[in-house]
A and B are shown apart, each in its own frame.
Chain A
Amino acid sequence: MKKLDKRLWGLIKSTKGQFFAISVVVAIGLMIFVSMGSAESNLQSALKDYYQLTNFSDLYVQVVKIPEKDISKIQSKYHFSDIEGRIVSEVPMITEDENERVTVRVTSVSDEDRVNRLYYIEGSPIQDKNHDVILVQQFAEARDIHIGDPIRLQINGRQYKMIVKGIAASAEYIYLIESAQNMLPNESKFGVAYVSKEFAQRSFGLSGSANEVIIKLNSNQDPENMKDVLKDDFENFGLKRIITQENQLSNRMMSEELAQLKNISGSIPILFLSIAGIVLVMMVSRMVKKDRISIGVMKALGYSASQIILHYTKYALSAGALGVFLGSLLGTVVAGAMTEMYIEFFNLPLLKINFYPQYVFWSIAFAGVFCGVSGIWGAKEILKIMPAESMRPEAPKAGKRIFLENFKFFWNHLSFSWKMVIKNAFRNKKRMVFVLFGVSLTCSMMVATISLVSSTLSLFDKHFTEFQKMDYNINFSTPLNEDVVKEIPHLVETQRVEPKIEFPFEVSNGLKKEIVNVIGINRDTEFYSFKDMDEKITRVSEEGILITENLAKALKVNKGAHIKIHSFIPGREDIYLRVENVIKQGLGMNAYMALDSMGNELMESQLVTGAYVDSKDPDIVKKLINADHIATIQSSQDMLNIFQEFMGLTIMSIGFIVVMAGILGFSIVYNATVISIGEREMEFSSMRVLGFSKNEIFSMILRESIVITIFGILIGIPVGRLMGSAMGNMYSNEIYTMEIIADTRSYLLACFFTILFITLSQLATYRKIRKLNFLQALKNRVS
């Protein structure tokens, strides 16, 4: 080992705490890079292969009814890569527990099974077209249903006993959720059952027809363009909506997960490495200053400036190397764990844990660049050190009055010790700003994370308890006369029943268009509580329409504007309605009208599509499931329960970010404090000689940190709020509108964790004060 390298080892040993702290920051940055990057690659490649293998559809055209011969005509017009008509409809599944609400999306598969091919896990394709059913894997596993087991489906008031022939995965249901409003899967309560086309056509009364067309486009056909073009072709078949692959629910969830992984793996590591770089610059420049005499001696012995710079740069690179080692190792382990979690969470059969050496190579490159540049930057003062000069004592640093001293009233009321504390805090402005940045970053990350999670929790809670308050949302299999609703209280015990119309329409403002469910409700509804953007309560009125905030944004309209409502029901004219108000709604994108107005203007008068019910009747499902006109019964409590099940996972993810942010804050404050103690060794030694105890000196340093921490928190809270809002906006989409509500509890928690990590960092520095050899320090002439 070269002598300089031996010296380097000594340097590392004497600063092991700081060295390790900085390596941990590098390691965390690279761990996030390797783990998120690898997890993204795992997901991305599995998804690509899976979509290719199953010939995943590009367009989903939902219609009331389209004869098969018309599908062929459309195919001969556009020559798609593939096209298939199918029947998709949600029906109740009868279980042994008669009060259990289980919804199954019955989906027909043709013999050819060309588009959205099933990926068989067990069993075989349908053979007995009248009785065989293929179940989606998640549902079968959640309900412990096996090949050969019977299931009972209630279709149009009739029960069908089917036998499970196969268990399959589908690219359409990698993430199995019932609708956009569910957001979280409830695999035992919602499933997909694939039946033969013949069975579906017969049981749903759609002989020779389909109610959904799935299309695989050619490479030269643009999905968005085709979506617009096809509207005219399907108009006459009761077009409900056309969904592109991009907006297909499961794919959308996957894309968002991938985008999130990509965002995090591309930004957070840079933040961590930048912080590590700044700390390294501070550490190395401090070392160079402390070693001024040794550097002078080395130069006098004939070592070149570049050799000595390299010597100190190696320190920074060594910290980076340890960071790369730990980061890659942990990153690979975490990538495996994340992929395992995705395997659990998503039904993606081709998903495997792969090792991607390129992420490790990139980690080495990133750490090399960040740490190398920081080392050189920190050591650049070596160029200015002249051997003879280095042996002379340093001139005292220029002292200056601080800004706060101008506020005489404030300053004169401070005790001398607090004046000292504040003066010391402002002594090295760059470092103070960096520590301030570190504390505020830690605090803001915590505020943003905690408030985002708390907002997500309140989003669900508010949606199902404040915004919509019904216990059950009942959907009829077809639109019926509103008298049917009056029968419900005769079937079950109810506290309140209200009719509803829920039907998809295309709403547009110029070129901006969205297909949304317009919901018609009683004007004096007790089941909805609408609030406008100013938090004022509003209601549906005789005229006009209420639209949700995200729909207003998508259409770029405000209150008072007129929007076009295009009906997919054949023969209906487009109508224009005034936007009476824009309302806040956490989950989903909708528009609301008075029931009678909607019936008159958009549908048929006195027709309803379902009802909202408040009922404490424990047997409600059992009593209603057999009513032939009822297709689905959704319970708000069920929705809330599923969400609460996911709380554990949420708390784990908060914990992860809180720990990350905490380590970052710890490392910044710990290193800055240790550097500061090193710089002020002589000062503290003098104070010890003057009769200050170790605790008094530590308390002075602690108070300096407290001052900076307080300011850091004061900056961190509003910054965290902004970060939270930006994250909320980023996560807001058609499915949910995130409104960041940073409540007092979120702030208190964020402050508590920030203070906890900063306190830990200070306690870690206490050892330095205890070990301070003041006799040795007083002999030094270099501070």
Chain B
Amino acid sequence: MLKHDILIAEKISKHYQMGEVTVKALENASFKFSKGDFVVILGPSGSGKSTLLNIIGGMDLPTSGKVYLRDEEITKFSEKKLTEYRRDKVGFVFQFYNIMANLTARENVELAVEICKNSLDIDKVMDEVGLSERKDHFPSQLSGGEQQRVAIARAVAKNPEILLCDEPTGALDYSTGVSILSLLKKVNKEFNMTVVVITHNAAIAEIGDKVIKMRSGEIVDIWTNESPVNPERIEW
């Protein structure tokens, strides 16, 4: 493994049994992420991108193949180790935010930080995501974009090796979506954090350093953008 490679996937496949039919959700996917990469995984519904994210995120195990984070093979982890991996190494941002309705924005971040070893300063992170004025608000008092910022702050404050974002703009309008992508770019740069964004929106691919294109469970293309576009300049 090269020094700057943070995550390596080797020929990972995931097959489901649906009655008598075997569904090949993912087939022989191999790729590498480096420290500080902004990766976009692009593909239509059913292309296997969420399956890929679940495996990288330690939420699911592949049928075959190996995934390494630095020099540890996560595909060999026990359930306990996988929980620790999710706790300390990975941050998640969901399409529908999934933040706790009865906790304030700050408390939602505190919830994640409480169990981490090397967390960041909560107030600093809240400032960075632009929520310093809204941290004592409850989710119901926040807009969709603000709720997604809370979700990002919650993931970032854990100080993970990789930030995984599943359709982070999927539930947002265009301008809010752009602002969220800008925020993710900012996090990527300022915290030197590897960010992986899953999307079906081809326009978003332009902002990634690296793009993995998927179709029907297979990686059909991987390319590197020499000059990624600023999120404010993309349109969909």
Question: Which B-chain residue is minimally distant from A777 (CB atoms)?
Answer: B98
Please give, as numbers and ranges, the residues of chain A lying within 8 Å of B54 by CB-CB distance.
Answer: 775
13 CB < 8 A contacts A-B: A397-B102, A398-B138, A399-B102, A417-B114, A424-B102, A682-B98, A683-B100, A685-B98, A686-B98, A689-B86, A690-B154, A690-B158, A691-B88
Contact: A423 with B102, CB < 8 Å? Answer: yes
Please give, as numbers and ranges, the residues of chain B lying within 8 Å of A160 by CB-CB distance.
Answer: none
CA of A780 to CA of B55, assembled, Å: 19
Please give, as numbers and ranges, the residues of chain A lying within 8 Å of B115 by CB-CB distance.
Answer: 690-692, 696
Question: Which A-chain residue is minimally distant from B166 (CB atoms)?
Answer: A778
> Which residues of B approach A to under 8 Å, CB–CB?
54, 57, 59-60, 80, 83-88, 90, 92, 94, 96, 98-104, 107, 110-112, 114-116, 138-141, 147, 154, 158, 171
CA of A419 to CA of B116, assembled, Å: 18
Contact: B86 with A427, CB < 8 Å? Answer: no
- In chain A between 456 and 493, which residues have their CB closer than 8 angstroms to a CB of chain B? none
Question: Which B-chain residue is minimally distant from A427 (CB atoms)?
Answer: B102
Contact: A691 with B98, CB < 8 Å? Answer: no
Contact: A398 with B92, CB < 8 Å? Answer: no
Say yes or no: A691-B140 contact (C-beta < 8 A), given A420-B103, A686-B98, A778-B94. no
CA of A423 to CA of B103, assembled, Å: 8
Contact: A398 with B86, CB < 8 Å? Answer: no
CA of A215 to CA of B112, assembled, Å: 85
Contact: A397 with B140, CB < 8 Å? Answer: yes
CA of A30 to CA of B83, assembled, Å: 47
| A410 proximal to B (CB < 8 A) | no
| A416 proximal to B (CB < 8 A) | yes
| A781 proximal to B (CB < 8 A) | yes
Contact: B96 with A416, CB < 8 Å? Answer: no
Please give, as numbers and ranges, the residues of chain B lying within 8 Å of A683 by CB-CB distance.
Answer: 98, 100
Contact: A395 with B140, CB < 8 Å? Answer: yes
Question: Which A-chain residue is minimally distant from B138 (CB atoms)?
Answer: A399
Q: What is the distance, in angstroms, from A150's C-beta to the closest C-beta of chain B?
A: 83
Kindly identify which residue among B59, B85, B110 contacts A774, using a CB–CB cutoff of 8 Å. Answer: B59
Please give, as numbers and ranges, the residues of chain B lying within 8 Å of A77 by CB-CB distance.
Answer: none
CA of A133 to CA of B48, assembled, Å: 99
Please give, as numbers and ranges, the residues of chain A lying within 8 Å of B112 by CB-CB distance.
Answer: 690-691
Contact: A690 with B138, CB < 8 Å? Answer: no
| A396 proximal to B (CB < 8 A) | yes
Contact: B94 with A686, CB < 8 Å? Answer: yes
| A413 proximal to B (CB < 8 A) | no
Say yes or no: A399-B87 contact (C-beta < 8 A), given A416-B114, A690-B111. no
- Further pairs besides A397-B140, A423-B102, A683-B98: 18, Cβ < 8 Å: A396-B139, A396-B140, A397-B101, A399-B139, A399-B141, A416-B110, A416-B114, A419-B107, A424-B102, A682-B98, A689-B92, A691-B86, A691-B90, A692-B83, A692-B87, A692-B115, A693-B80, A775-B60
CA of A420 to CA of B80, assembled, Å: 23
Contact: B94 with A400, CB < 8 Å? Answer: no
Please give, as numbers and ranges, the residues of chain B lying within 8 Å of A693 by CB-CB distance.
Answer: 80, 83
Say yes or no: A420-B111 contact (C-beta < 8 A), given A691-B84, A775-B54. yes
| A570 proximal to B (CB < 8 A) | no
Kindly identify which residue among B57, B80, B84, B111 contacts A416, using a CB–CB cutoff of 8 Å. Answer: B111
CA of A395 to CA of B57, assembled, Å: 27
CA of A429 to CA of B101, assembled, Å: 15
| A560 proximal to B (CB < 8 A) | no
| A393 proximal to B (CB < 8 A) | yes
Question: Which A-chain residue is minimally distant from B60 (CB atoms)?
Answer: A775
Contact: A690 with B86, CB < 8 Å? Answer: yes
Please give, as numbers and ranges, the residues of chain B lying within 8 Å of A393 by CB-CB distance.
Answer: 96, 171
Q: What is the distance, in angstroms, from A308's C-beta to the closest C-beta of chain B?
A: 26
Please give, as numbers and ranges, the residues of chain B lying within 8 Å of A419 by CB-CB distance.
Answer: 107
Question: Which A-chain residue is minimally distant from B110 (CB atoms)?
Answer: A416
Please give, as numbers and ranges, the residues of chain B lying within 8 Å of A400 by CB-CB distance.
Answer: 102, 138
Please give, as numbers and ranges, the residues of chain B lying within 8 Å of A423 by CB-CB distance.
Answer: 102-103
What are the interface flags for A652-692 relative to B under an 8 Å C-beta threshold, 1 for contact and 0 otherwise? 00000000000000000000000000000011011111111
CA of A692 to CA of B140, assembled, Å: 24
Contact: A396 with B147, CB < 8 Å? Answer: yes
Please give, as numbers and ranges, the residues of chain A lying within 8 Å of B83 by CB-CB distance.
Answer: 688, 691-693
- Looking at B116, B140, B141, the one whose CB has the most chain A CB atoms below 10 A away is B140
Question: Which A-chain residue is minimally distant from B164 (CB atoms)?
Answer: A689
CA of A685 to CA of B59, assembled, Å: 10
Please give, as numbers and ranges, the residues of chain B lying within 8 Å of A775 by CB-CB distance.
Answer: 54, 59-60
CA of A692 to CA of B154, assembled, Å: 14
CA of A417 to CA of B101, assembled, Å: 16
Contact: A690 with B87, CB < 8 Å? Answer: yes
Question: Which A-chain residue is minimally distant from B91 (CB atoms)?
Answer: A690
Q: What is the distance, in angstroms, from B116's C-beta to the closest C-beta of chain A?
A: 7
CA of A262 to CA of B94, assembled, Å: 60
Question: Which B-chain residue is minimally distant from A415 (CB atoms)?
Answer: B114
What are the interface flags for A766-783 relative to B under an 8 Å C-beta threshold, 1 for contact and 0 otherwise? 000000001100100100
Kindly identify which residue among B80, B92, B103, B171 contacts A690, using a CB–CB cutoff of 8 Å. Answer: B92
- Looking at A683, A691, A781, the one whose CB has the most chain B CB atoms below 10 A away is A691
Contact: B140 with A399, CB < 8 Å? Answer: yes
Q: What is the distance, in angstroms, from B172's C-beta to the closest C-beta of chain A?
A: 12
- In chain A between 386 and 433, which residues have their CB closer than 8 angstroms to a CB of chain B? 393, 395-400, 416-417, 419-420, 423-424, 427
Q: What is the distance, in angstroms, from B104's C-beta to the closest C-beta of chain A?
A: 7
CA of A393 to CA of B147, assembled, Å: 14
Question: Which A-chain residue is minimally distant from B113 (CB atoms)?
Answer: A416
Say yes or no: A778-B101 contact (C-beta < 8 A), given A691-B116, A693-B83. no
Please give, as numbers and ranges, the residues of chain B lying within 8 Å of A691 by CB-CB distance.
Answer: 83-88, 90, 112, 115-116, 158
CA of A687 to CA of B103, assembled, Å: 13
- Looking at A398, A399, A424, A683, the one whose CB has the most chain B CB atoms below 10 A away is A399
Say yes or no: A399-B103 contact (C-beta < 8 A), given A682-B98, A689-B57. yes
Contact: B94 with A396, CB < 8 Å? Answer: no
Q: What is the distance, in angstroms, from A699's C-beta to the closest C-beta of chain B?
A: 12
Contact: A399 with B86, CB < 8 Å? Answer: no
CA of A531 to CA of B104, assembled, Å: 61
CA of A731 to CA of B191, assembled, Å: 75
Q: What is the distance, in angstroms, from B108's C-beta to the closest C-beta of chain A?
A: 10
Please give, as numbers and ranges, the residues of chain A lying within 8 Å of B88 by CB-CB distance.
Answer: 691
Please give, as numbers and ranges, the residues of chain A lying within 8 Å of B80 by CB-CB distance.
Answer: 693
Question: Which B-chain residue is minimally distant from A400 (CB atoms)?
Answer: B138
CA of A554 to CA of B51, assembled, Å: 81
Q: What is the distance, in angstroms, from A623's C-beta to the closest C-beta of chain B?
A: 81
Please give, as numbers and ranges, the residues of chain B lying within 8 Å of A689 by CB-CB distance.
Answer: 57, 59, 86, 92
Please give, as numbers and ranges, the residues of chain B lying within 8 Å of A688 by CB-CB distance.
Answer: 83, 86
CA of A420 to CA of B86, assembled, Å: 21
Question: Which A-chain residue is minimally distant from B104 (CB atoms)?
Answer: A399
Please give, as numbers and ranges, the residues of chain B lying within 8 Å of A398 by CB-CB distance.
Answer: 101, 138, 140
CA of A399 to CA of B150, assembled, Å: 15
Q: What is the distance, in angstroms, from A334's C-beta to the closest C-beta of chain B?
A: 45
- Looking at A396, A423, A683, A696, the one whose CB has the most chain B CB atoms below 10 A away is A396
- Looking at B60, B80, B83, B99, the one whose CB has the most chain A CB atoms below 10 A away is B83
Question: Which A-chain residue is minimally distant from B154 (CB atoms)?
Answer: A690
